[in-house]
Amino acid sequence: MIDPIQAMKTSVAPIPSVVPDRPEYQHVHESGSRTLWVVFVIMIIASIAFAGMSWRVPVSKRLYYVLTTMITIFASISYFAMATGHGISYNHIRVRESHHHVPDTFHDVYRQVFWARYVDWSVTTPLLLIDLGLLAGLNGAHLLMAVVADVIMILTGLFAAFGSEGTPQKWGWYTIACIAYLVVVWHLAINGRVTSKAKGSKVGKFFIAIAGFTVIIWTLYPIVWGISDGSRKMSVDSEIIAYAVLDILAKPVFGAWLLITHARLPETDIDLGGFWSNGLGGEGALRLNDEDGA
Using CA of residue 249, residue 250, residue 252, residue 258, what is the dihedral sign?
Answer: positive
Q: How far apart are CA 127 and CA 1, in angstroms?
A: 89
Cα–Cα separations (whole angstroms), residue 103 to 19, 99, 167, 232: 12, 7, 21, 25
58 part of a folded domain: yes
Q: What is the pTM of this model?
A: 0.83
Q: In angstroms, rounded to a whole number, what is the distance separating the alpha carbons of residues 44 and 49?
A: 9
* Number of domains observed in the structure of the chain: 1
Residue 101 lies in a domain: no
In a domain, residue 282? The reply is no
> What are the φ/ψ torsions at residue 90 (nearest 5 degrees)?
-100, 135
Q: How far apart are CA 159 and CA 173, in angstroms?
A: 6
pLDDT value for 286 = 46
Beta bridge partners, 89, equal 113
Query: What is the extent of the structural domain holding 60?
Result: 24-88+116-267
Q: Which residues of the chain have pLDDT under 50?
A: 12, 15, 284-294
Interval 86-117: pLDDT, tens? 999 988 777 666 656 656 656 677 888 999 99
Whether 198 is covered by a domain: the verdict is yes
Angstrom distance (rounded) from CA 71 to CA 78: 11
- Domain for residue 50, yes or no? yes
Question: Rounded CA gap, 54 and 60, in Å?
Answer: 11
Kindly state whether residue 247 falls inside one of the protein's structural domains: yes
Q: What is the CATH number of the domain that holds 50?
A: 1.20.1070.10
The SS3 call for residue 58 is coil
Looking at residue 24, what is its pLDDT?
Answer: 73
- Please give the pLDDT value at position 7: 52
